[in-house]
Amino acid sequence: MKKTIFSLFACIVFPLFLHAQQVTLATLDWQPYVGSDMEGGGFTAEIVKAALESQGHSVKIEYMPWDDVIAKTAEGKYDAAFPEYYSKEREKGFVYSSFFSHSLLGFYKRTDTKASYTELKDLEPYRIGTVKGYINTEEFDSAPFLKKVEADSDLENLKKLFNRELDLIVIDKLVAQSLIAAHMPEATGQLEFMDPPLVIHPLFVVFPRSLPQSGKLCDDFNKGLEMITRDGTVEKIMSRSGLK
C-alpha cells in the first residue's frame, strides 16, 4: 500500500520538477512595484517569483537600469525581464506572458504650471522628460512634434522637473509618489499628476525569443500565475504591500 501511494505521488510531482531550472530574471528599481531594497523585492517580484516557484523553478533576480534590462535579456543573458508594458515592436523579440498587474501612466507637472491637454498636440510647447528604454504609448513615443528629453531614471526626471529644467515628465503615478516620499520630500505639494492619464498599462513578464526554452518557461509562468491567483497567494501579496 505504501509503495502504491509513493508511486502515485511520484507520478504527480516528479513531472513538475523534471524540467525545473534556475531562472535568472532582470528588472529595475521601480518602487513601489519592484526594488532591490524592498521587502521581498516589491510586490511584482513576489508575484513573478511565486508563480515560477509553484512550477518547481528556483528564481534569482538581478537589478539594473531598464535599457540594460531589455538589451541584455534580448541577447539571452537573462531568462526573462519584468515588469514590461506591451509593445507590438518589442513583441518581435520577446514572448509576452499573461498580465499580472497594472500601471497608471501619465504626466507629472509643477503645481504652478498651467499645462493641460485633451490631446497630445496640446503639449507641443513643453519640454517632456522620458526614461531611456521605456515604452510609454505608441502615439506618444512616435509623435515627432513633441520635445522629448531622455534621462536614465524617473528620479532624475523628477529632480529636473522640480528644478524647472523640464515642464512635464511621463511617469507612473505610484512610482512618482514613492520617489517623492523617499527622496524628494521638499517636492511634496509642489509636483502633481495631470489628468487625464495617458494609459493604464497591463504589466507582463517577457521571455527572449533568442532562448529556445522561452516558450515553455512562459507557459510555466502563466500556469503558475493562474495557480497562485486561485489559491489566494496573489491577494495575500497585494494585501501585504498595502496596494490591494
Cβ within 8 Å of residue 12, ≥6 positions away: none
Residue pair 23/97 in contact (Cβ under 8 Å)? The answer is no
pTM: 0.85
User: pLDDT (tens digit, 9 = 90+) per residue, 183-239?
Assistant: 999 999 999 999 999 999 999 999 999 999 999 999 999 999 999 999 999 999 999
Count other Cβ atoms within 10 Å, centred on residue 130: 20
User: pLDDT (tens digit, 9 = 90+) per residue, 169-183?
Assistant: 999 999 999 999 999
Domains and CATH numbers, the chain: 19-101+201-241 (3.40.190.10), 103-200 (3.40.190.10)
Mean pLDDT of 12-37: 81
Count other Cβ atoms within 10 Å, centred on residue 201: 21
Write down the residue that cell numbers 517632456 correspond to. 128
Cβ within 8 Å of residue 147, ≥6 positions away: 124, 126, 127, 128
Residue pair 207/82 in contact (Cβ under 8 Å)? The answer is no
Query: Please, is 23 exposed, middle or buried when counting C-beta atoms within 10 Å of its C-beta (0-12, 13-18, 19+)?
Result: buried
Q: How confident is the model at residue 9 (pLDDT cuts 50, 70, 90)?
A: very low
Residue pair 47/225 in contact (Cβ under 8 Å)? The answer is yes
